[in-house]
Amino acid sequence: MTVIYSARWLLPIVSPMLEDSALAIDGSTIVAVGPRGEIVSAFPNSPIEDFGQAAILPGLINAHSHLELTVMRGFLEREESDFSAWLRKLTSARPAMTPEDLIVSATCGAIEAARAGVTSVGDSSSSGAHTMQALRRVGLRGIVYQESFGPAPERAAENVAQLCDQIGGMQEYENDLVRAGVSPHSPYTVSATQLEIISRLAIDEKLPLMVHAAESQAEKLLLLEGRGAFAEGLNKRGIDWDAPRISTIAYLQRHGVLDTRPLLAHCINVDDNDLDLIKQSGAAIAHCPKSNAKLGHGCAPFAQFVSQGITVGLGSDSVASNNTCDILEEARFATLLARLDWGSSPRVSKGPGSFDLSDGIVELPDSRKNALVTAEQALFAATVGGARALRIENRVGALAKGMQADIVVVDLSSAHQQPISNPAATLVFSSSGRDVLLTMVAGKEIYRDGRVSTASEEELRIRLTEIRSKFEGT
Ligand SMILES: [Zn+2]
């Protein structure tokens, strides 16, 4: 049966915004998008859901999350001044979680995402099969990247064998919505040999690959100078490290990772040469501005990613370093942060809404650095950009005939949003996930009117508190 959803505004993202518009959904697919009158007369017997003073837009894409770590929200804050201690505490607490605990924690994260209008995630997980079960339970779409660790090169083959077993276990949970991928965790936790083997595996088996890249100063010092907290950590474990004296991105290229067109999380410490390498390789970036700021890592050059036409989506990272999974809020933060120093540069003087986003490339003036990032560009990253980063843009990320019905309806009637002249700006600068009215994935409503329809939230919340008590005090 075809159902019509209408609202005052509809933002297809890949085509201009429509007023008093509607879309028609049949099963899991969008079958028409256009002015309300036209859609109603094309489907005269279909029920109409009218959301009034609201915006319908493509479901938001969280390009980098760690849903299994939802239970660690606020748990690592004493370690935030020392990233290496932060990671150590995280990895030593995680084994206390049983498989059921991991599913509960990831399910709570998936619920939080659904409530905030997120329909797809690019999730990095130590226990991929469990996270896939959580996504399926809540009804989210996503790629789950199974993490692989191992800084000692002599153990690379053994570690990759374990990864292959884990991928085998994940494949039984794959369906139309959820897919398995691989994640060699980072250049400081995975040896060059292991990076090479996993990259080969990803290409041969057509597995999407995600890696943390150019995130912290400690990583930069390790690669460029062979010193700092990560170097000391390797040294203590008796692992030889010969600093390559090149950037993270150049290192990933040298060891075959860029050949996989990877998803690179963070990319804070990148220079012009790195950005060229990223663009030429067809890699994508998951920009995680709030996590980067909370851990004091720095500010990734989002304006440059956008102006250079690099594929970029927005990611929350884990709620242990954010502390929310809210992509509208992430878009606001990304935009504001990108504007911090734009005033000293030539100003882009086009008015709001004047960018043509139809091909995803935004024209900027000659001086491309520090250009003003617009609300429209941030929304593009939160939807189409994220879909491209996860390589699912042929199915989701935009509202158009034939696309999957992954949509979000955001209320724009509240006091904190009035008055409205440009709905894109209202969405990015005045709204958050808390304004979401409806989240739909593949035509199925998973969140509506304050309730997630696919899981018992209260029961899960009690379980989450019990799990957290297991490692309080560690
Ligand atoms: Zn991460």
From ligand 1's centre to the CA of 3, what distance in Å?
Answer: 38
Cα of 139 to ligand 1 centre, how many Å?
22
Per-domain boundaries in the chain: 2-58+397-452, 60-389
Q: What strand order describes the sheet that includes 118-125? A: 60-65, 118-125, 141-148, 178-184
C-alpha to C-alpha distance for 39 and 120, rounded to whole angstroms: 27
- Report CA Rg, the chain: 22
Distance 8 CA to ligand 1 centre (A): 37
CA 64 to ligand 1 centroid distance, Å: 6
Q: How many angstroms separate the alpha carbon of residue 412 from the centre of ligand 1?
A: 32
The highest-level CATH class for domain 60-389 is alpha beta
Going by pLDDT thresholds of 50, 70 and 90, the confidence category of residue 473 is: low
Q: List pLDDT tens digits, range 411-440.
A: 999 999 999 999 999 999 999 999 999 999
- Range with lowest mean pLDDT among 89-93, 174-178, 266-270: 89-93
Mean pLDDT of the chain: 93
Residues 150, 159: Cα–Cα separation, whole Å:
7
Q: How many CA atoms lie within 13 A of 222 on its CB side?
A: 26
Between the CA of 437 and the centroid of ligand 1 the distance, in Å, is 28
Q: Is the pLDDT of residue 350 over 60?
A: no
CA of 321 from ligand 1 middle (Å) equals 9
Selected from 3.40.50.720, 3.40.1390.10, 2.30.40.10, 3.90.1170.50, the CATH number assigned to the domain covering 2-58+397-452 reads: 2.30.40.10
Query: What are the phi and psi torsion angles at 325 (to 5°)?
Result: -115, 85
Q: Please give the distance, rounded to the nearest whole angstrom, from the Cα atom of residue 330 to the centre of ligand 1.
A: 15
Q: By three-state DSSP, how is residue 318 classified?
A: coil
- Distance from the CA of 417 to the center of ligand 1, in angstroms? 32
Beta bridge partners of 75: none
Q: Is 52 helix (H, G, I), strand (E, B) or coil?
A: coil
Reported pTM = 0.93
- Asked whether 389 and 344 are in contact (CB, 8 A), the reply is no
In angstroms, what is the span from residue 300 Cα to ligand 1's centroid?
Answer: 14
User: Rounded to the nearest 5°, which phi and psi values hold at 103?
Assistant: -65, -45
Ligand 1 centre to CA of 323 (Å) is 13
Answer for the pair 264, 211: CB distance below 8 angstroms, yes or no: yes
> Closest by alpha carbon to 292, among 268, 262, 309, 271?
268
Q: What is the pLDDT of residues 184-216, one digit of tens each?
A: 999 999 999 999 999 999 999 999 999 999 999
Q: Using 50, 70 and 90 to split pLDDT, how confident is the model at 349? A: very low
Tell me the three state secondary structure of residue 424: helix
CB-CB neighbours of 29 under 10 Å: 15
Please tell me the distance between residue 66's alpha carbon and the centre of ligand 1 in angstroms.
6
Cβ atoms of 65 and 112 within 8 Å: the answer is: no
How confident is residue 94, by pLDDT bands cut at 50, 70 and 90? Answer: confident
What is the Å distance from ligand 1's center to 124 Cα?
7
Look at the block and give the residue holding tokens 């724009």: 412
Q: Provide the b/e sequence for 143-180 (b: ≥16 CB within 10 Å).
A: bbbbbbbbbbbebbeebbeebbebbebbeebeeebbbb
pLDDT (average), residues 335-349: 66
